[in-house]
């Protein structure tokens, strides 16, 4: 059985986990264990190719962010 790396409780059907694509660490797909907002978690869940990296891995890789720049000023 897989355990959450954050709270050390089991990953279950009712509390599914997210696996880090870099270190394969698993944490619950919850706000408390991933530090993501519920919106971000929902987006990950609905994504075709789920790619998520844990806090530690994000820290060691250069974080790329997408900036959305509107073409017109309001
Ligand atoms: Zn957890
Ligand atoms: Zn990781």
28-54 pLDDT, tens digit each: 999 999 988 999 888 888 887 778 888
Q: Which domain holds residue 17?
A: 1-56
Measuring CA to CA, which residue among 68, 53, 69 is closest to residue 19?
53
Residues with CB under 5 A from ligand 1 (ion): 4, 6-7, 28, 33
52 is a domain residue: yes
74 is a domain residue: no
72 is a domain residue: no
CATH number of the domain at 19, please. Answer: 3.30.40.10
* Average pLDDT over the chain, rounded to an integer: 85
What is the mean predicted confidence (pLDDT) over 16-20?
91
Q: How confident is the model at residue 60 (pLDDT cuts 50, 70, 90)?
A: confident
Ligand 1 center–CA 68 separation, angstroms: 32
Kindly state the helix (H) or strand (E) to which residue 19 belongs, with its residue range.
strand 17-19
Total tally of structural domains belonging to the chain: 1
Nearest ligand to residue 51 Cα? 2
64 is a domain residue: no
Nearest ligand to residue 4 Cα? 1
Residue 11's pLDDT is: 96
């Amino acid at each position: 059985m897989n355990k959450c790396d954050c709270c050390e409780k089991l990953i279950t059907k009712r509390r599914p986990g997210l696996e880090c694509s870099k270190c394969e660490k698993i944490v619950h797909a919850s706000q408390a264990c991933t530090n993501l907002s519920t919106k971000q978690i929902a987006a990950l869940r609905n994504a075709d190719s789920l790619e998520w990296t844990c806090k530690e891995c994000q820290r060691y890789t250069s974080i790329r962010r997408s900036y959305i720049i509107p073409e017109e000023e309001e």
